[in-house]
Each structure stands twice: as structure tokens, then as C-alpha cells.
Structure 1
Amino acid sequence: LIDNIVNEITEFGFVSVCKVNETHCWVEDLHPNAQYEFWVTATNTTGISPASEKAVYMTVPSPPVIRERGCSSCPEAALIRWESGNTNPVESYTVDLSETGTDEEGGVTESIVAVPTCECLIQLQPGRQYLISVRAVNIGGPSNKSEPICISTTGTVFHLLQDTAHPCLSLSEDGFSMFYGDEELPISTQCVVSSWPRCAAVLGDLIPVRGRRYWEVAVEEATEYRIGVAYEDTQRNSYLGGTDSSWCMRHVLTPSRHKYEFLHGGWSPDVRITVNPVRIGVSLDYAAGTLSFFNADLKQHLHTFHCNFLDYVQPCFALDNPGALTVCNGVATPWYVHSV
């Protein structure tokens, strides 16, 4: 007769022992995404048997965590980014998406498998709503799903990038608004390498997909600002619109009037705007090679740059005096934009 059976487990070089009187045992509280070795010895009154052959078991990973502020979308696609959620590397990720508002709502309508990194660019249909989640995969199997993120393909959605912001600026928690509120801190204050030494600027994380992109920006009449686009590697030691790698609309307060400039390479045409816009529409069309600005409240075209974009550009924003600015995301492209 066997008095008891000893189950021995190793993880990270440590051995755990579990004594049972049956030919099976439950092992709980194992770490996720970790490899274990199991072996068994039998014991009776005469001693302990040799150990059985070792069995190797890998636990499944923890669910990833989607970085909401790292995600961006447009009517044709979404870029989803996430944190692994695991200390040890995993083999790959699976991205699950389902369209909401349909008969299949709640079920997986598509899975993208063997994603090697913590981001995935997904082609989608315009004017839809999707729930997207991520699973981590190792040889033990897939993890549970991450908390889902809701993606709308009605318009363009992006966030302001904290690591590109000038030290004068603070960003809202949702990543859509920027504030410059310290009049004592000069714009020329010491900057990190990725920020702008000559203007209080920040870049937006626009999805790298060609097509037409549209967003709106809410501003205040008393705020001096620059709104436009720039290449990601544009020179940071200049002003927005001051080089050939950035284009912007600039608002300046003078003693006599509100002055507006449309700058590229440091030059602006002579444009007079009689009604000060407080909600500015920006239309970027890669195929047509245009960047257009609108007074969204009046549906009024303000100016269009004609340019051959050699690479993807990022939205850029700057405040030249204390004030605030908010990016209005997910706005469908208005009809009057298509007529320009």
C-alpha cells in the first residue's frame, strides 16, 4: 500500500511540495505566462520511490491592457495599441472585433491572429461602431480578453502626444485639450529634446492611413494660436509654419484687429477674415494634396494649401499666449468641405 503521493512543482528554480492520498491533485495560484515542471513520487513504509518523468506546463498569459490614448481611427481604419500585461514575453496577440448595432452584436465577427507586437492597424468600414479587444497567446493558450474599446468610424479620432508637448503646456486627461496658463514661464524655457524650444506646441497622433481626414478645433477669440500639420521629423527649433515641413493657420492679436496668417516656409498670402472663427475645421486630403481650413460655424472656406505630401503628417497645435485649445474628434466630414 502507498501511504501518500508527493507532487513536486518547480517555478523560477523554486520547488513546492504537495502531499496527497489520491492519484490526482489541484494546483492553484499559479502565476500567469509562467512555465512549471511537475513530477510525482510515491511513499510507503519502506521509503520514497524514484521520481516520475517531469511534465512541463505553461500557464496562459494575463489579458493585455488597451491604451485608449494610444489608439486612433478614421472612417477606413483603426490603429489599436496596448500594454502586454505580462512580465515574461508572449508569443503573439489576437485582436477580436465585433460590429455593434447588428444581429451579430456581442459575437466575434473577425479575429486577427499572430500579431507580433503591441499594436495593430485594422481595416474597417466607414460609418460603423466596433468593439475591439485583445488576447495574449503563448504555448499554453490564449488569455482572457482585454477590456474592450469602442471605435467609431464616423470621423477622425486622435489624441495629443504628451511626449511632444512643450513644458509650458498641460494636456487634459482625455488627451483632447491643451492649456497654456503660466504667464511667468517663458516659451523659451528649457525643453526636452522632443519638444519645441521656440513655440508652445504639441503634435497629434493621427492614424497613418492615406485618404481624407477632417477634424475641428475649438478656440477662444483672445487666444493666439497656430493650427496645422507637420511631418513627424519636422525641425523643432523653428515655429510651426516657419519651415517647408509644416503648414499652419496662425491667429495674432494686434492693437487694431485680429490678424490671420496661413504659413508655410515662413511665408503667408494676404488673407483678410472679417468674422473671427471660434471653431475651425481642418481638412487634410492626401490624394488631392490639399490642406484646407474652414470657419465651421459659418461653413466658410478660409484658405487651402496645395502641396504634395511625401510622407504622413501629424496634426500640430501651438499657443502663443496663455489660453486653451480643444480638438473636436469624431466629426463627420461636412458636405461643404467636399466642394473645395
Structure 2
Amino acid sequence: MAAPISAARLCRLAARTVSSISSRPRRTVSLPARIRYISTSTANNLQFRLDERTAHSSLDLFKKDTGVIYRILGLDPSHVQDNPERFRDWAVVFGDGKISGGRHYWEVTVKKSQEFRLGVAEALMSRDDCVGTNSSSWVFGYAQRKWFAMTSNKIVPVTLVGKPDRVGILLDYEAGLLGLVDIEKRRITHALRAQFKAPLCPAFGLWDGELLTHSGLEEPEGLK
């Protein structure tokens, strides 16, 4: 029987030890007005790019900021522009928009990574945390050849045979639903339920390989 997934293992520190950050005070983030807002209508053709200003120094963006690649060594943090939006200790990057309502759908090519997280997080989430470890983020992840759902540092296994090349993410803000979508079968494999009370951003954690995002998509017909 495979060993259970460890929360500490899944949220590895990119360049420092966990103990080194435990003594650091948490800071909330004041985002600039230039970050755009997504319409609160029910349209599901959300379009976004990855926001370099939030990307940890171990992450590089490519393909016009729609893809992200993990560098084992990454950049020296002292060589990266310091700003309150950037993740300082965890290999996380946000999408460049805020979602304050509506039903939205996007997809992510995951075939070139073996350890990642996909989901949403409050735009003002602390940049000292990792997505999935607090009550401000909701993610689906893949590690040790297993899928899981995670929020508030609680891990729930997700039954999914193998690993598809590409998955979908469905967000229904008013209904409080975040779904992991099997694109081929057009069904929600697993759903997280929450009461969203603040603007959200697409959120990504990456500790191996690369991810490629696909936004501006229509929700598949018949998705439940």
C-alpha cells in the first residue's frame, strides 16, 4: 500500500526550511488598482495570463505568460524585484485577474509535471503561505502519482485513474463550487465547496516540470 501523502511533503519549501519561515510574520497583500476585474456576469469565457509580479523566484513564465516552468535552483531572490504581491517562500503564481462572481472555466495542460496544484485563492492571500494550506485557497493537486483536494491544510484523496494530459477547472462563485473536470468524459471528478466572500485569482503551485494554461474557453456542454 502506498504511503499517505504528507502535507509537509506536498508543500515543499522552494529554497528554505519550514522552520525558517515559521518565525516570520505573515503579511497580507495590497494589490494595485491596475489588476483587472473579471465581470460578475454568468459568462464562463474567463481569459487570464499568469502574473509575473506574483511568481516565486523559482518559476519562469513562457508562451506569453500562459505557461510556467519550475527551475530547481531558480533565481537568487535578491535578484528578483521585491514587491508585496510576490510569493517569497513557495513556488506559487497567480493569474492576473480577480473573479468576484459568475461561473468560469479554464483548462491546464499538466502532462509535463509530476507535482503541482491548480485552483483558486483569495487575491489578498498571504504571500508567506502555500496554496492549499490556509482557508483562503482551494486547490486540486497531484503528487506521488495521486490526486488530492486541499484547503485549510486538509487533504482529501481524489479518485482518478492515471493522469490525463490536460484537466479542466470549473468555478461557480455564487454556488461556492470549485470542480476538477475530466475533459474527455465531460464530468466533474471532484468538487470543493466553500462560501467565497472575497475576490479570487486562478492559482498555481509547481514543484516539477511545467504547466500551460488555456483560458477564454467555453464550459463543456452537459457538465455537471
The normalised TM-score by structure 2 is: 0.74
Q: Report deviation, 1:209.
A: 4.5
Instruction: Give, in whole Å, the separation in 2 of the partners of 1:207 and 1:160.
Output: 12
The counterpart of 1:248, out of the listed 135, 139, 149, is 139
- The answer to whether the aligner puts 1:326 opposite 2:212 as a matched pair is yes
Q: Aligned-pair distance for 1:71?
A: 6.4
CA contact (8 A) 1:72 1:205 kept: no
Q: Would the alpha carbon gap of residues 199 and 265 (structure 1) be closer, same or farther in structure 2, given more than 3 Å must change? A: same
Whichever residue aligns with residue 72 of structure 2, its letter is E
One-letter amino acid of the structure 1 residue matched with residue 135 of structure 2? D
Residue identity opposite 1:292 in structure 2: G
Q: Give the aligned partner of residue 183 of structure 2.
A: 296
Rounded Cα–Cα distance in structure 1 between residues aligned with 2:204 and 2:116:
7
Letter in 1 for 2:156: P
- Could you say if the C-alpha distance between residues 284 and 214 of structure 1 is closer, same or farther in structure 2, counting changes exceeding 3 Å? same
Matched AA of 1:266: N
Partner of 1:179: 69
Deviation at 1:285?
A: 0.6
Q: How many percent of aligned residue pairs carry the same amino acid?
A: 27
Shift of 1:205: 2.0
- Is 1:201–1:318's contact at 8 Å kept on the other side of the alignment? yes
Deviation at 1:221, TM superposition (A): 5.4
- CA drift at 1:299: 2.1
Contact preservation (8 Å) 1:74, 1:155: no
| SS of corresponding position for 2:119 | strand
Q: Is the 8 A contact 2:174 2:196 kept in 1?
A: no
Q: Which residue of 1 aligns with 2:92?
A: 201
CA displacement at 1:214 relative to structure 2: 0.7
Q: Runs ≥4 in structure 1, deviation > 4 angstroms? A: 69-77, 188-191
Task: Output the aligned Cα RMSD.
Answer: 2.6
Secondary structure of the 1:301 match is strand
Question: Greater relative contact order: 1 or 2 (C-alpha under 8 angstroms, separation 6 or more)?
Answer: 2
Matched, 1:165 2:51: no
Partner of 1:175: helix, strand, or coil? coil
Matches of 1:281 and 1:171 in 2, distance apart?
Answer: 20
Q: Residue 230 of structure 1 contacts residue 245 of structure 1 at CA under 8 Å; is this kept in 2?
A: yes
Deviation at 1:210, TM superposition (A): 1.3
Aligned to 2:105: 214
| 2:120–2:200 Cα contact (<8 Å) kept | yes
Q: TM-score, normalised by structure 1?
A: 0.50
> Deviation per CA, 1:252-306, whole angstroms, max 9, x where unpaired?
02xxxx1111000000223222131221111111121111111213324221111
Residues in 1 aligned to 2:173 and 2:124: alpha-carbon distance in whole angstroms: 18
The structure richer in strand per residue is 1
SS in 2 for 1:163: helix
Whether the aligned pair in 2 keeps the contact of 1:158 and 1:207 (CA below 8 Å) is no
Output the CA distance in 2 between the equivalents of 1:72 and 1:310.
Answer: 15
Shift of 1:196: 2.0
1:70: Cα distance to partner?
6.9
Deviations 1:83-123 (A, max 9, x none): xxxxxxxxxxxxxxxxxxxxxxxxxxxxxxxxxxxxxxxxx
Flag structure 2 segments of 5+ consecutive residues without an equivalent: 1-33
Contact 1:223–1:324, Cα closer than 8 Å, also in 2: no
